[in-house]
């Protein structure tokens, strides 16, 4: 079991300027933000994928699907996100856009727990949206569409009351464009609710594996869950997108990855999967075996 940290934020525009509050939980660190654009919407930061680069192949998507179920934990992001959406959504009902939903969450959970909402579930991966369509059968207040968070052209300006994303913004290639698009589709006074990873304990282990096998530090991974972890980085993107942070919260929760050593190895080394694939393509079985031994 791993205890993983994430952060949650709330961003809002007020005449007196942004107000900040943060609380750190000892169990895990991730981010759940909500923000409001000046004179217009509010926003919360989460996650997404890139449509023009197939970052998530079938195996990676399967792993992420299993890991996503961990987010249901009492201290995980989904419960906090549903609460933040409930708080931001008009009492008479409203429209929610869930970005980088994967196979449908937290969009489906939001739709089920908040029947006054209509949730548009999106992801850059067509297979993931097919899975979301299957999982959302019977949930009448949902729509599923293939869309990249950095190009939401099919959605009109100021068309959603709330935008959500769970661990998505750090994976899109053009992060500023993704935040700008979020601002564009939010209604005046709208809210963004999002999460991102602050720290992940296995990342230093992965770096050590690559350095031991190659003799050199590893490059930044193409799938980098810590791409937004640098202090002030998310705040900078939000400010440039004219979104103002109103609430920020750190939390931690455990990941149960089971007892299968093969699956645990795939999960732990997910960020260097491309590097392992290169070793396999080159026939460097000794390097692959050395990496596995170093990991354990």
Overall number of domains in the chain: 1
Q: What is the CATH number of the domain that holds 91?
A: 3.40.50.150
As a whole number of angstroms, the distance between CA 265 and CA 217 comes to 20
User: CA angle, corner 225, sides to 220 and 230, nearest 5?
Assistant: 75
Q: 58: pLDDT confidence band, cut at 50, 70 and 90?
A: low
Q: Is residue 293 part of a domain?
A: no
Q: Is residue 135 part of a domain?
A: yes
Which CA distances in Å does 211 have to 137, 268, 269? 47, 16, 13
Tokens of 182: 């979020």
Q: Inform me whether the pLDDT recorded for 88 exceeds 70.
A: yes
Handedness of CA 250, 118, 140, 149 (dihedral sign): negative
Find how far residue 30's CA is from the centre of its chain: 10
- Around Cβ 281, how many Cβ atoms within 10 Å? 8
What residues pair up with 31 in beta bridges, in sequence order?
A: 7, 250
Q: Is residue 110 part of a domain?
A: yes
Q: Is residue 42 part of a domain?
A: no
Tokens of 123: 């992801």
Average pLDDT over all residues of the chain: 78
**pLDDT recorded at residue 270:** 78
29 Ramachandran zone, left/alpha/beta (phi>0; psi -120 to 50): beta
Q: Is residue 10 part of a domain?
A: no
Q: In degrees rounded to 5, what are phi and psi of residue 224?
A: -115, 100
**pLDDT recorded at residue 192:** 94
- pLDDT, tens only, 137-181: 999 999 999 999 999 999 999 999 999 999 899 999 999 999 999
Q: Is residue 265 part of a domain?
A: no
Residue 168's domain comprises 21-33+56-200+225-257
Q: Is residue 219 part of a domain?
A: no
Tokens of 109: 């959970």
Q: Is residue 64 part of a domain?
A: yes
Q: Inform me whether the pLDDT recorded for 23 exceeds 50.
A: no
**Average pLDDT in the 182-209 region?**
88
> Whose CA is closest to 195, among 18, 34, 66?
34
- pLDDT, tens only, 236-280: 999 999 998 888 888 777 667 667 788 778 877 877 888 888 999
Q: Which helix (H) or strand (E) holds 74?
A: none
39-69 per-residue burial string, b: 16 or more CB within 10 A, e: under 16: ebbbbbbbbbbbbeeebbeeebbebbbebbe
Q: In degrees rounded to 5, what are phi and psi of residue 228?
A: -115, 15
> Whose CA is closest to 32, among 241, 269, 197?
197
**pLDDT recorded at residue 285:** 94
What residues pair up with 204 in beta bridges, in sequence order?
A: none
The DSSP letter of residue 132 is H
């Amino acid at each position: 079991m791993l205890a993983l940290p994430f952060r949650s934020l709330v961003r809002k525009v007020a005449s007196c300027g942004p107000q900040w509050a943060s609380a750190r939980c000892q169990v895990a660190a991730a981010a759940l933000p909500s923000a409001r654009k000046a004179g217009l919407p509010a926003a919360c930061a989460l996650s997404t994928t890139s449509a023009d680069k197939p970052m998530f192949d079938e195996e990676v998507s399967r792993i992420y699907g299993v890991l996503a179920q961990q987010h249901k934990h009492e201290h995980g992001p989904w419960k906090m996100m549903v609460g933040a959406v409930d708080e931001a959504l008009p009492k008479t009902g409203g429209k929610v856009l869930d970005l980088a939903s994967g196979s449908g969450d937290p969009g489906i959970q939001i739709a089920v727990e908040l029947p006054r909402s209509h949730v548009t579930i999106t992801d850059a991966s067509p297979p993931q949206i097919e899975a979301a369509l299957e999982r959302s059968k019977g949930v009448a207040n949902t729509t599923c569409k293939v869309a990249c968070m950095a190009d939401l052209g099919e959605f009109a300006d100021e068309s959603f009351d709330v935008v959500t994303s769970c661990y998505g913004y750090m994976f899109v290639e053009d992060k500023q464009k993704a935040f700008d698009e979020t601002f564009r589709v939010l209604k005046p006074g709208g809210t963004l609710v999002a999460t991102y990873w602050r720290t992940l304990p296995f990342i230093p282990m992965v770096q050590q594996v690559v350095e031991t096998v190659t003799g050199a530090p590893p490059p930044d991974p193409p799938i980098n869950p810590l791409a937004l972890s640098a202090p002030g980085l998310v705040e900078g993107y939000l400010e440039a997108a004219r979104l103002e942070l109103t609430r920020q919260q750190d939390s931690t929760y455990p990941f149960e990855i089971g007892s299968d050593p093969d699956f645990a190895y795939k999960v732990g080394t997910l960020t260097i999967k491309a590097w392992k694939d290169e070793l396999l393509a080159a026939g460097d079985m000794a390097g692959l075996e050395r990496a596995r031994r170093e990991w354990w």
